């Protein structure tokens, strides 16, 4: 089993599921927020599936008492505490999970999009869904679904759902609005607080939503997807969105970031002229690793390894390199950068000091909640 390391905001003990917060701790959350600024291991965790600022969704296998068998569960820890039974053998088949207004939205490997209500009842939102993303404000769900009924292609068209019609299932009738882009079918979608990215079958990246984080180098809001010209010609293998910034990896292992850079979450050196100004907002930039030494964190000069995984939090970014190292930059107030005492922000990517969890294991994957980071070691 892989080992999952966690660090960042722990005000609801969501990073230490064996230690539930007391009612008095919950009542005084604003003044007693806990911080985990160095990586800790999540016990018996197969995968971290989703994370909000106050709750984490884990996949676990739990032994059935007095038998040699086990059962699977989706375990919610933090402000929301709940166990959802899930067949153990199917835990690895969960393609994507979102926690939305205390409900769980699940995309399975067989491409069913399911809603798990608070009561545990499960409803089918879409029978054939290729990918799904939920906006950070939890108002909008964007899916990729087949262009025609019965079509089982690996690419499809974009659909937009109002979150609240999904959450009211089965009382409400779920209806989606297509978001057509002439001549394009899509394979992947990602969402920030109020912006979206979609990758087309032709390997072009489109964006829409609120301005500054769209990668077009301007400050114009877009209601319809527009191709990001600066990324044309790149074969993109992964996309990630933070609240107001984004990151993509090319097939050559290069990392590109764009959007707001208030906390240094783009991983590039920039000068700011005021608290309300966000330099180069919207412009796509190539990230380089290890060109400076800032006195607090050691950087490796002329680092030439590929980026294999990237994730974005509200104001921070984490990357895994092909040599198994993990790096972070941006906002670190709650220890989400993983580099020791909580810091204000770090503009350049700095290596995360990962513990030696087991000989031969190294970082292979990362994901972020708004104020948390999770790294899979294998």
Going from N- to C-terminal start, the domains of the chain cover 234-378
> What is the percent of the chain where pLDDT is above 70?
84
In whole numbers, what is the pLDDT of the chain averaged over residues? 86
Tokens representing 255 are 């990392």
Write down the pTM of the prediction. 0.90
Pick the more confident residue, 281 or 371: 371
pLDDT tier, 171 (very low <50, low <70, confident <90, very high otherwise): confident
Tokens representing 77 are 């820890």
Task: List the Cα angle 312/175/190 in 5-degree steps.
Answer: 15
Beta bridge pairs of residue 147: none
**Residue 361 to residue 39: CA distance in whole angstroms:** 15
**Residue 175 to residue 159: CA distance in whole angstroms:** 10
pLDDT at 63 (0 to 100): 66
Q: Domain 234-378 adopts which CATH fold? A: Methylamine Dehydrogenase; Chain H (2.130.10)
| From 1-10, 94-103, 284-293, the region with the lowest mean pLDDT | 284-293
pLDDT at 211 (0 to 100): 81
| From 166-175, 196-205, 218-227, the region with the lowest mean pLDDT | 166-175
What mean pLDDT do residues 213-225 have?
91
Phi, psi (5° rounding) for residue 29? -55, -40
Q: Specify the DSSP element, H or E, that contains 282.
A: none
β-pairing, 70-78 vs 55-63, is antiparallel
Phi, psi (5° rounding) for residue 25? -65, -40
Which residues are CB-contacts of 159 (< 8 A; sequence separation ≥ 6)? 142, 143, 144, 145, 176, 177, 178, 179
Which residues are CB-contacts of 24 (< 8 A; sequence separation ≥ 6)? none
Task: List the Cα angle 342/345/346 in 5-degree steps.
Answer: 110
What mean pLDDT do residues 78-93 have?
82
* DSSP symbol at 27: H
pLDDT at 43 (0 to 100): 75
Highest averaged pLDDT of the listed ranges 171-180, 195-204, 283-292: 195-204
Pick the more confident residue, 177 or 298: 177
**Residue 248 to residue 303: CA distance in whole angstroms:** 19
């Amino acid at each position: 089993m892989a080992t999952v390391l966690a660090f960042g905001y722990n005000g609801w003990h969501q990073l230490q599921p064996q230690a539930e917060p007391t009612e008095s701790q919950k009542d005084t959350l604003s003044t007693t927020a806990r911080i985990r600024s160095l990586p800790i291991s999540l016990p018996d965790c197969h995968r971290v599936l989703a994370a909000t600022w106050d709750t984490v969704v884990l996949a676990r296998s739990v032994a059935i008492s007095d038998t040699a068998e086990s059962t699977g569960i989706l375990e919610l820890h933090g402000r929301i505490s709940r166990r959802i039974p899930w067949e153990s053998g199917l835990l690895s088949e969960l393609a994507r999970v979102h926690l939305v207004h205390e409900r769980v939205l699940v995309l399975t490997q067989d491409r069913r999009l399911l809603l798990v209500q608070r009561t545990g009842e499960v409803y089918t939102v879409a029978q054939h869904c290729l990918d799904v993303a939920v906006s950070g404000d939890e108002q909008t769900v964007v899916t990729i679904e087949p262009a025609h009924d019965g079509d089982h292609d690996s690419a499809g068209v974009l659909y937009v759902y109002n979150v609240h019609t999904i959450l009211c299932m089965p009382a409400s009738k779920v209806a989606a609005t297509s978001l057509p882009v002439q001549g394009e079918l899509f394979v992947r979608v990602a969402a920030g607080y109020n912006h979206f990215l979609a990758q087309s079958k032709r390997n072009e990246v489109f964006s829409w939503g609120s301005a500054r984080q769209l990668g077009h180098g301007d400050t114009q809001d877009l209601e319809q997807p527009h191709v990001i010209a600066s990324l044309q010609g790149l074969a993109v293998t992964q996309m990630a969105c933070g609240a107001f910034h984004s990151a993509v990896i090319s097939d050559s292992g290069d990392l590109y970031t764009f959007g707001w850079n208030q906390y240094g979450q783009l991983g590039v050196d920039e000068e700011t002229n005021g608290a309300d100004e966000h330099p180069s907002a919207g412009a796509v930039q190539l990230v380089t690793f290890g060109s400076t030494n800032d006195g607090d964190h050691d950087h490796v000069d002329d680092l030439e390894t590929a980026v294999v995984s990237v994730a974005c939090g509200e104001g921070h970014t984490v990357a895994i390199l092909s040599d198994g190292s993990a790096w972070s930059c941006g906002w670190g107030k709650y220890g989400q950068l993983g580099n020791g005492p909580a810091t204000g922000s770090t503009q350049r990517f700095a290596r995360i000091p990962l513990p030696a969890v087991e000989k031969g294991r190294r970082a292979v994957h990362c994901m972020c909640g708004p104020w948390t980071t999770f790294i899979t070691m294998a």
